[in-house]
Structure 1
Amino acid sequence: MTAKNTASPFDTAALTDWLTSLPDSGITGPVELTRIGAGQSNLTYLATDDIGNSVVVRRPPLGHLAASAHDVLREGRIMASLADTDVPVPTIYGATTTAEEVPVIAMSVVDGTSLNSPKSASLLSPDARRAAAFGLVDAMTAVHRVDLEETGLTSLASHKPYAPRQLRRWAGQWDQTKTREAPALEALTGRLRAAVPEQSETVLVHGDLHLGNIIVDESTGTVNAVVDWELTTLGDPMADIGSLLAYWPSADGPNLPGFDAALAEGFPTADELADRYLEKTGRSRDALNYWHVLGLWKVAIIIEGVLRRVRDTPENEATSGAPTAAVADDLIERATRIADATGL
């Protein structure tokens, strides 16, 4: 994991009291906090006591937040619900709300590394990198196979068609967080609304599944955990593979900070990832271009939200740095080219 010492956004004494009260946390006394990961949204810290026991704690970012965003308590409920499934997740020890009305979850430390930078990718051999990427796709298929009734997740979100819900949510997010006008994004929003594909099934959708949100074994590339369930909902399974393709880097860039890790030797191409997903699930390729375009559009809006949060509260910036408006613009340009080429 990437780690960085930083000012704590917690009341450390109160956090210690809570962690020591959790029967399975193993925390026995005062903790030292170190920020980990390269996430640009909810803040994740390693809490370590004076005898070396550690847990991971997670809370929303600092500053003003958009409505319904950054719900870490919901994340904790989802991961707890997946404990007995084929989806590898950390163990949830507990959830609470602080005196300042800040939600916090505590979970187990998972051995391995997140592939959120070229440096982290260099820890793996080319064979392990390939295994990690294909393991990510396999984890995605496991997410999509989750029995909603058995896990109690059938009421997690609406069962109405997913694409219109995504378009409403993220267009609204753009309106709330934008730092500038972007006519090309607005035009793409209209095209996506006019071309919504028919949805034939409703499954658990991670919503943000990419190399940075898995923890893998450095020697084999085995996926030990899927993390960051903030955007998880119920919807069309093709949305997840579309988002993964949106995050996958291009050799000519610009790419999101850290995502150029997948340019290292051994990682498969975006087409290979899509082929593996479709082969394992038997799903049709027909809607893939639509969800790829929507994924690029969504990631561009997410970047804009990150830019806004870091501009308003610099402490929110991740260890890998913040993306730039140029990256968001490039994603919109890529999405527009795909839409043009496929008649969207």
Structure 2
Amino acid sequence: MESAVDIESLATWMTDQGLGAGPIDNVTPLAGGTQNILLRLTRDGRDYIFRRPPAHPRPNSNETMRREARLLRAIAGTNVPHPALIADCGDESVLGVAFYLMEPVDGFNPVGQLPMPHAGSPAMRHAMGLALVDGIAALGALDHQALGLADFGRPDNFLGRQVDRWRSQLAGYGEFADWTGPQALPSVDAIAAWLERHRPADFTPGIMHGDYHLANVMYRPDSGDLAAIIDWELATIGDPLLDLGWVLATWPDGSGASTVSVTPWEGFPAPAELVARYGAGSARDLSAVDWYHVLACYKLGILLEGTHARACAGKAPRDTGDRLHSRAIHLFDRAQALIR
């Protein structure tokens, strides 16, 4: 990963930004939830987190970096926990890509085996679940226009576009040879029709993270509080209640088919308590919360099915494709149970 970054050019840019002098030391790759490159580095005794697109950027990767940096700058000083932006560079001529620098976060990601003291405290794990929804309640309460983000998304008809958007995505998988087809996903057409019939008439636009679940947050090492919400690449202006739906769709249910796994799980709140907690911290109308839960299951199931379709055509590992296909089926089964 370090080889994907011209450290000398980065040092020159940092000097121009007033960010220390001398060599950059202790360059360490960090694991992230995406293919984006994350490095921890030190200069003049100060630690930084460096973030740039993948070694082989997608067509929109640089614009995504610029959007992430803009969002982090806009929410600075708010009560939403996030990595503090230090500086950003949208000029691709410096390193060949857009990039930015953040303050390191003192915290851990909870996916997998929890560390102590969290692993030993059901009460602390309960607090972790409540803090997760507190984060999006705070995010959704921000005035995006006052923060300079009026043009950060397309909230007009946001909900009206959703089913067609993901139905088209699913149909597009037909280009992959030997894909089992949409008929392998239970009730996919019935769920889409239900979503269209029961779509909320209106909503209050706000900032939404776009991929909000336990894998995209960090917790403080000594409490159940959030240290930071991370991986903002899908953030936009839309309906923040879809972030709550995403939490519910990804919330482990003991089936082993969840997209997120945390151990030990005992103590984490039940979904109904998450909804109640969100409602206590938000002025938004939660009467249609099941609709957002179903939409999140529909959208996430279709996204996971994409890897299965690619695996059928030999463009992704078959075991991964089969595993994600099973999770997609589980999500559609969950959606079907919700609409009965």
TM-score class, shorter-chain normalisation, is 0.7 to 0.9
CA distance in structure 1 between the partners assigned to 2:2 and 2:31 by the alignment: 16
For residues 315 and 339 of structure 2, what CA distance do their matches in structure 1 show?
39
Corresponding residue SS for 1:141 = helix
Residues 46-195 of structure 1 aligned to structure 2 (within 5 Å): 46-49=40-43, 53-63=46-56, 65=58, 67=60, 71-96=64-89, 97-99=91-93, 101-120=96-115, 123-124=118-119, 125-171=121-167, 180-183=179-182, 184=184, 187=189, 188-189=191-192, 192-193=195-196, 195=198
Equivalent AA in structure 2 for residue 200 of structure 1: F
Tell me: CA distance 1:198–1:69, structure 2 relative to 1, closer, same or farther (3 Å): farther
Structure 1 position 247 matched with structure 2 position 243: no
* Pairwise CA distance, 1:334: 3.1
**TM-score w.r.t. length of structure 1:** 0.80
CA contact (8 A) 2:257 2:330 kept: no
* Runs of 5+ unmatched residues, structure 1: 1-5, 315-321
CA distance in 2, matches of 1:279, 1:148: 21
Deviation of 1:295 (Å): 1.3
What is the aligned counterpart of 1:36 among 15, 30, 35? 30
Alignment deviations for residues 178-204 of structure 1 (CA, whole Å, 9 cap, x no partner): 864541456355654454332231111
In 2, Cα distance between equivalents of 1:267 and 1:273: 10
Q: 1:340 to 1:226 in 2, by over 3 A?
A: closer
SS of aligned partner of 1:114: coil
- Shift of the alpha carbon at 1:173? 5.2
**For the Cα contact (< 8 Å) 1:16–1:30, is it kept in 2?**
yes
Note if contact 2:106-2:221 (Cα within 8 Å) is conserved in structure 1: no
Q: Out of 204, 207, 211, which is 1:204 matched to?
A: 207
| CA deviation map 1:112-132 (0-9, x unaligned) | 112122245775533222222
Q: Tell me, which stretches of 5 or more residues in structure 2 are unaligned?
A: none
Greater C-alpha Rg = 2
Identity %: 29
1:158 is paired with a residue of what secondary structure?
A: coil
> Is contact 2:140–2:206 with CA below 8 Å preserved after alignment?
yes
SS of aligned partner of 1:93: strand
Alpha-carbon distance in 1 for matches of 2:63, 2:113: 27
Kindly tell me: are residues 120 and 189 of structure 1, through their superposed partners in 2, closer, same or farther at Cα, counting changes over 3 Å?
Answer: farther
Aligned pairs for 1:286-305 within 5 A = 286-303=287-304
Aligned to 2:279: 278
Does the 8 Å contact 1:249/1:263 carry over to 2?
no
Q: Whole-Å Cα distance in 2 between the matches of residues 26 and 101 of structure 1?
A: 22
**1:17 and 2:12 matched:** yes
| 2:51 aligned counterpart, secondary structure | strand
Q: Any idea what the Cα deviations from partners look like across 1:95-145, whole Å, max 9, x if unmatched?
A: 224446422111111111121222457755332222222112111111011
CA positional deviation for 1:227? 1.6
Number of aligned residue pairs: 327
Pair 1:84–1:66, CA change in 2 (3 A) = same
CA distance, structure 1, for counterparts of residue 106 and residue 139 of structure 2: 21
Supply the distance in 1 between the matched residues of 2:332 and 2:100 (Cα, whole angstroms).
39
